[in-house]
Chain A
């Protein structure tokens, strides 16, 4: 099945929703790991939008990306509460542990602010991180 055909299927699942673009984009991003120009065009056609409109939305939100990154992703919170709990002192070690193999992404707040520093891998969350725990998480990601 081509990208365009699969995207059309995804759009069809959401057509009964009001304002379906974000749910569609989440599904496309989830399935392909990115929203490619080809997918953008297919979404625009299926929802009767211009490609510019779809691209504008894709490029606005941090969760959507134009190119897939197959590496495992560790999201590290570096917002104020985690900074107060000492996350900045862990960043250098985390980057070394991640190297090129793991994508270390900065996020602002995972809602675990009373037990920081915190990180998220997929749908699993981790709190009260110190250097050892964080580097272990990254190395086993």
Chain B
């Protein structure tokens, strides 16, 4: 019987993969639901004996089965989008059934956990430090150093918390990993638990990811004995973007408002319920099983550039011809990602701006396309790589409106604890409106004769631009967390590169 492989990733389902799968079953084929290759513009993608067909509809079944279909893309592994990648975290993408323990073990699963458990916790931590792995959630803090802090912290109880509150627009790697390779995340958490001496783990998943939640719960039920005595529970978020910030996430797990906590104390010392806690992103934890295999740490640290070691699962999204997941060693330039791999915009119009790093990331101008994908290089260019999301805009984008949206989003999602973020974001929206409106006239109170110090001329557009820059500086320096602190990045980058859009 012909075995047809079709993804059951949420994106494939959203593009109609279930209907296609049913059509193949009706034609007498055996359908295997696998993870997604990450070539999202081709979903639903159908694979038979390694050969692929993209954008398949139920009506294409006959032509695919007799190989007359013009939608053939050849051997999937040889497709330039796949062949050009270096997949470590996503090594199984497209190849295994997400909930098959058999497939997982056959593709090297549990080897890292087995080896880690034969080592001392200190040796495991040393391996992670040696790999150079940095937190993939956005901050880029060295994972091994964080683990060492938790290992050395005194506490009867310790926790591993996986941050799966992937709220950044333009990012979906966490979702794909949880839906496509849930055991890898679980294995990574179990290794972390062994390394720091934790008994319990939580995966905090955003409620917008129902498929990931279901997959994780099923996977945990299947492998509970494998990771015992360590135990993991999935917790569902409740629609608050700010809960992706680690201290706010911890509050949410404790059943409180998702308000940010002041640091210090670091979560590594006083985290969940006041106990030492490792908080790592999905991609950080999922990179661990590979690093803990024999030679894994040295291979990982041999990849990348400067202080950005290993591979980064980059997510190419927005107005892009070939969008999807592209895992590669650090150092690739933005121009390569957008123009060569992504193939430019799907509207066929010129690229105007690229937002890297989610809603808090800077808008990058095509003039900066030689920027290498590297934490420090982006920081030096007043941007951030964040969680690795790359959102492409064509020349119809209004960057003044995007800057306004950044402030509006911050106002909607602010936890309200610190003033620069809570108030500054709302004032920012008003300021951008006024700048686009040509400045602000003096109001009735300012015009009163007794208001000696008030300007009688109102504020010009330039005055308001200066005020916006000043506001951004205050938000950047005085906010408690990255939400208020990084919202200035998209605002100021839009203002700097596309001042004409603010007129």
Distance (whole angstroms) from the CB of A69 to the closest CB of chain B: 15
Contact B317 A114 (CB under 8 A): yes
Contacts of B121 in A (CB 8 A): none
B379 to chain A, nearest CB (A): 21
Partner of A85, one of B238, B257, B318: B318
Smallest beta-carbon distance A41→chain B, Å = 17
Decide if B318 touches A81 in the complex (CB within 8 Å): yes
Decide yes or no whether B280 CB sits under 8 A from chain A: no
Question: Known: A80-B405, A108-B167. Is A114-B323 also a contact (CB below 8 A)?
Answer: yes
Taking the closest CB of chain A, its distance from the CB of B161, in whole angstroms, is 12
Q: Is A12 an interface residue (CB 8 A)?
A: no
The reply to whether B391 and A123 form a contact with Cβ atoms under 8 Å apart is no
Is B35 at the interface (CB under 8 A from chain A)? no
Name, among A20, A22, A110, A128, the residue most crowded by chain B CB atoms within 10 Å (CB to CB): A22
Contact B315 A114 (CB under 8 A): yes
Are the C-beta atoms of A60 and B14 separated by less than 8 Å? no
Q: Say whether A19 contacts B359, CB under 8 Å.
A: no
* CA gap between A83 and B363 in the complex, in Å: 14
Q: Are A109 and B169 in contact (CB under 8 A)?
A: yes
Mark contacts of B449-461 with chain A using CB atoms, 8 A cut-off: 1 yes-contact digit, 0 otherwise: 0000000000000
CB distance B207 to A63 under 8 Å? yes
Partner of A127 from the list B11, B235, B359, B389 (CB cut-off 8 Å) is B11
| Bound form: Cα–Cα A81–B392 in Å | 8
Using CB atoms, name the residue of chain B closest to A56. Answer: B257
With a 10 A CB-CB cut-off, give which of A17, A115, A120 has the most chain B CB atoms.
Answer: A115
Check B254 for interface membership: any CB of A closer than 8 A.
Answer: yes
Q: Say yes or no: A127 contacts B169, CB within 8 Å.
A: no
The answer on a CB contact under 8 Å between B238 and A25 is: yes
Question: Quick one: given A62-B238, A63-B239, are A113 and B255 in contact (CB under 8 Å)?
Answer: no
Query: Within the assembled complex, what's the spacing in Å between the Cα atoms of A131 and B41?
Result: 19
Cβ contact within 8 Å between A115 and B43: yes
Any chain B CB within 8 A of the CB of A100? no
Q: Which of B170, B171, B238, B397 contacts A63 (CB 8 A)?
A: B238
Which B residues are CB-close (under 8 A) to A85?
318-319, 346
Q: Please, which residue of chain B has its CB at the minimum distance from the CB of A80?
A: B169
Contact of B208 among A22, A61, A107 (CB under 8 A): A107
Interface residue total, chain B, C-beta cutoff 8 A = 61
Residue from A62, A113, A124 in contact with B315 in the complex, judged by beta carbons closer than 8 Å: A113
Least Cβ distance of B218 to chain A in Å?
A: 15
A51 within 8 Å of B (CB atoms): no
Contact B235–A23 (Cβ < 8 Å): yes
B residues 238-262 with Cβ under 8 Å of A? 238-241, 252-259
Please give, as numbers and ranges, the residues of chain B lying within 8 Å of A21 by CB-CB distance: 255-256
Please give, as numbers and ranges, the residues of chain B lying within 8 Å of A107 by CB-CB distance: 208, 239
Q: A59-71, CB under 8 A of B: which get 1 and which 0?
A: 0111110000000
Produce 1/0 per residue, B369-396, CB < 8 A to A.
0000000000000000000010111100
Binary interface encoding of chain A residues 80-112 relative to chain B, with 1 for a CB under 8 A from any of its CBs, else 0: 111111100000000000000000000111111
Q: How distant is B109 from chain A, measured CB to nearest CB, in Å?
A: 24
What is the 8 Å Cβ interface bit string for chain A, positions 18-51, against chain B (1 contact, 0 not)? 1111110110000000000000000000000000
CB of A123 within 8 A of CB of B40, answer: no
User: Closest Cβ of chain A: how far from B344's Cβ, in Å?
Assistant: 13
Interface residues of B in 295-319 (CB under 8 A from A): 315-319
Q: How far is the CA of A85 from the CA of B169 in the complex (A)?
A: 12
Q: Is the CB–CB distance between A115 and B392 below 8 Å?
A: no
Q: Choose among A62, A79, A128 the residue that contacts B359 (Cβ–Cβ < 8 A).
A: A79
| Cα distance A81–B390 in the bound complex, in angstroms | 9
- Verify if B355 is at the interface (C-beta below 8 Å from A): yes
| Also in contact, A120 and B397, with CB within 8 A (given A115-B15, A115-B323) | no
Q: Is the CB of A60 within 8 A of B240?
A: yes
* Contact across chains for A113 and B13 when beta carbons are under 8 A apart: no
A111 touches B209 (CB 8 A): yes
Q: Which residues on the A side are within 8 Å of B392 (C-beta)?
A: 84
Known pairs A19-B255, A83-B397, A116-B318; list 17 more (Cβ under 8 Å): A56-B257, A61-B258, A62-B238, A63-B207, A79-B359, A81-B169, A83-B405, A85-B346, A108-B241, A111-B11, A111-B166, A112-B14, A115-B15, A115-B41, A115-B43, A127-B15, A128-B15
Q: Show the binding face of B for A, using Cβ within 8 Å.
A: 10-11, 13-15, 40-41, 43, 166-172, 175, 200, 207-211, 233, 235-241, 252-259, 273, 315-320, 323-324, 346, 355, 359, 389, 391-394, 397, 402, 405, 409, 413, 415
Q: List 23 A-B contacts (CB under 8 A).
A: A18-B200, A20-B255, A21-B255, A22-B238, A22-B253, A22-B255, A23-B235, A25-B238, A60-B240, A60-B258, A80-B170, A80-B318, A80-B359, A81-B391, A84-B317, A108-B413, A111-B171, A113-B315, A114-B11, A115-B14, A115-B15, A123-B210, A123-B211
